[in-house]
Amino acid sequence: MKRVLRWLRNAVIGVIALALIAAAVIYAMSERTLRRSYDARGTSVAIPADSASIAEGERLARVRGCPGCHEPSLEGSMFVDDPMLARAAAPNLTTAVREYSDAELEGIIRHGVRPDGRSVLAMPSDMFRLLDDADLGKILAYLHSAPQVPGQARMMKLGPLGRLGIALGEFKPAAEEVRRVELLSDSFPAAGSPVARGAYLARTVCTECHGATLSGVGTTPDLRIAAGYSREQFVRLMRTGVALGERELELMSEVARSRFSHFTDEEIEALYAYLLSRATP
């Protein structure tokens, strides 16, 4: 009996030791990734000051989903609060726009890199990387115009599952995702193509959910599915979130109502034309 108890005790000690070693390895691997420095200095873009540009910047920000994470008044919010995964907050943008220079904001938004050279996490910089200077300038003009309000400070505290995801490469820093997207530029129409405008919209609006090549991720479909919609049905989906068959889609319907309903008619037409071109052999 004593021998069995001794064996059990040693087995438990061994399991605990292995678990501690595994935890230490995961922590070290994830920390190395999180502390990686990136040489991506931000550059300034022209920031317009007229009221029309500021209003357009607000519309562009809504289409790109900024209020979805940072709240309608841009005060920020805690969007993940799971001790095992992470405690992650989208920070107060009315404070951030006053703390960072415009070049630093450009580096964060389009490159996913903070002023200290480290990458941000859970920021769709791979989508925003493709924003042109005019659109980004108007979005920044809108952020500058917003009154400062109290809100959520920046926070990213990874739990054990979050660190495991980083260590295994399942969850990548934003700067890494930006690098991956930059390699895909040849997969899309060049400037001057009849569908270049629609491709620009798709890449700066849709890739967050449907993947860098718009081929779908997980349960989100390949956007060739748009070929199943008539122009009128596609417009209705964008404006109201109502899909074919009078369906409410789990994610798309709400995103359409909160974001895509702010598309202009021209943008919806351009996006539809491009998505149709993708579905044509």
pLDDT at 4: 64
Region 50-69 average pLDDT: 96
For residue 165 the two structure tokens come to 């995801």
Is a pLDDT exceeding 90 seen at residue 243? yes
pLDDT at 204: 95
Q: Specify whether 158 is located in the same domain as 189.
A: no
Q: Specify whether 212 is located in the same domain as 258.
A: yes
- Looking at residue 93, the DSSP 8-state letter turns out to be H
Q: Specify whether 148 is located in the same domain as 202.
A: no
Region 202-212 average pLDDT: 93
Q: Specify whether 56 is located in the same domain as 157.
A: yes
Average pLDDT, the chain: 91
Residue with tokens 């989508």: 127
Q: Specify whether 86 is located in the same domain as 156.
A: yes
Q: Which residues of 194-221 are buried (b: 16+ CB within 10 A; e: fewer)?
A: ebebbbbbbbbbbbbbbbbbbeeeeebb
Region 12-28 average pLDDT: 80
**97-139 per-position pLDDT tens digit:** 999 999 999 999 999 999 999 999 989 999 999 999 999 999 9
**249-270 per-position pLDDT tens digit:** 989 999 999 999 999 999 999 9
Domain with 204 in it: what CATH number? Answer: 1.10.760.10
In a domain, 85, yes or no: yes
pLDDT at 166: 92
User: Which is higher by pLDDT, 17 or 135?
Assistant: 135
In a domain, 180, yes or no: no
Domain with 133 in it: what CATH number? Answer: 1.10.760
Q: Specify whether 151 is located in the same domain as 196.
A: no
What DSSP string runs through 128-142? HTT--HHHHHHHHHH
Assess contact for 113 and 120: CB atoms under 8 A: yes
For residue 236 the two structure tokens come to 């209705």
Q: Specify whether 250 is located in the same domain as 154.
A: no
State the Cα torsion 132-138-143-146 to the nearest 10°: -170
Domain count, the chain: 2
Region 163-167 average pLDDT: 92
User: Residue 64 and residue 93: Cα distance in Å, rounded?
Assistant: 15
In a domain, 169, yes or no: no
Region 160-174 average pLDDT: 91
Residue with tokens 């200290």: 116
247, containing H or E segment: strand 247-248
SS3 248: strand
CA atoms within 13 A on the CB side of 99: 12
Q: Specify whether 155 is located in the same domain as 107.
A: yes
Q: Specify whether 135 is located in the same domain as 194.
A: no
In a domain, 122, yes or no: yes
- What contacts 38, CB < 8 A, 6 or more positions away? 111, 112, 113, 117, 118, 119, 175
pLDDT at 180: 84
Q: How many CB atoms lie within 10 A of CB 281?
A: 2
Region 131-156 average pLDDT: 96
In this structure, which amino acid lies at residue 49?
A
Assess contact for 167 and 179: CB atoms under 8 A: no
Q: Specify whether 59 is located in the same domain as 155.
A: yes
| Residue span of the structural domain in which 230 resides | 185-279
pTM of the model: 0.90
The percent of residues above 90 in pLDDT, for the chain, comes to 76
Nearest to 270 by CA among 225, 208, 184, 205: 205
In a domain, 38, yes or no: no
pLDDT at 60: 98
In a domain, 42, yes or no: no
User: Residue 90 and residue 155: Cα distance in Å, rounded?
Assistant: 8
C-alpha 58: how far from its chain's center?
Answer: 18
Q: Specify whether 116 is located in the same domain as 208.
A: no
User: Which is higher by pLDDT, 63 or 2?
Assistant: 63
Nearest to 126 by CA among 177, 61, 63, 169: 177
**Interstrand relation of 86-90 and 247-248 (parallel, antiparallel or unpaired):** unpaired
**Highest mean pLDDT range out of 8-12, 39-43, 47-51?**
47-51
In this structure, which amino acid lies at residue 61?
A
Q: Specify whether 57 is located in the same domain as 156.
A: yes
pLDDT at 265: 97
In a domain, 22, yes or no: no
The pLDDT-based confidence of 1 (bands split at 50, 70, 90) is low
In a domain, 265, yes or no: yes
pLDDT at 23: 82
